[in-house]
Amino acid sequence: MPANSILGVFAKSPIKPVIEHINKIVECTVELDAFFNAVYQEKWEQAGEIQRHISQLEKEADQIKRDIRGNLPSGLFMPVERTDLLELVSQQDRIANKAKDVAGLVTGRQLVIPSPLIDGFQTYLSRCLDAVRKAAETINEFDELLEAGFRGRERELVVSMINELDCIEDDTDKMQIQLRRSLRSIETAMNPIDAMFLYQILDWVGDLADLSERVGSRFEVMLARD
């Protein structure tokens, strides 16, 4: 978004660009679903195309982040600190970075997901993406929450969403533990380096949920300061 445009948006609502940013993060991250579907079938050309698309979307999110940092007014007349908004954007940005890292590592090594793990891994990935979507759903309530003065039914709705996000993240922790056990049971039949990197991918996919939960936590801190 050009600087003059984003300044116009800030004049109307200082948090709309933050919402635009998290929505771009979701657009980037959910591409991992199609990406891994290609990986399961070892369609590396298709996976590479999706990986490049993820990288492009991450760059677009980066640009929104830079625009926010460069143009966020210092004097905002609202119950939100400028530093809190900037920290929220930083937390959001880490989600897209992690999605790019996951796709880049898998593509770079043409890392095969062993067939005994595919079903469990897909369920795990889907739940981690649920966390990203829930974080975005929460941030998308920011405008209404601001209009409500951070009080009332809208605040209760946002708190409920944050609690649900915590539950999703807890689910992904349990799924990761089970997947690591499953991987350990077959790792001796794998290339040791591939096994090592697959453990890394399990961690990084789980980070999508962890980082999404941190977005919710950061938002909750902003609510608590009101």
Q: What is the pLDDT of residue 223?
A: 75
Per-residue pLDDT of the chain (226 residues; tens, 9 = 90+): 454 444 344 445 668 899 999 999 999 999 999 999 999 999 999 999 999 999 999 999 999 999 998 887 665 555 577 788 899 999 999 999 999 999 999 999 999 999 999 999 999 999 999 999 999 999 998 888 877 776 788 888 888 999 999 999 999 999 999 999 999 999 999 999 999 999 999 999 999 999 999 999 998 887 776 5
- Rounded CA-CA distance 171/174 in Å is 5
Tokens of residue 175, six digits = 């799924």
- Rounded CA-CA distance 73/76 in Å is 6
Angle (CA) 210-56-46 rounded to 5° is 90
Q: What is the pLDDT of residue 224?
A: 72
- Rounded CA-CA distance 100/104 in Å is 6
Stated pTM of the model: 0.90
- Rounded CA-CA distance 127/196 in Å is 23
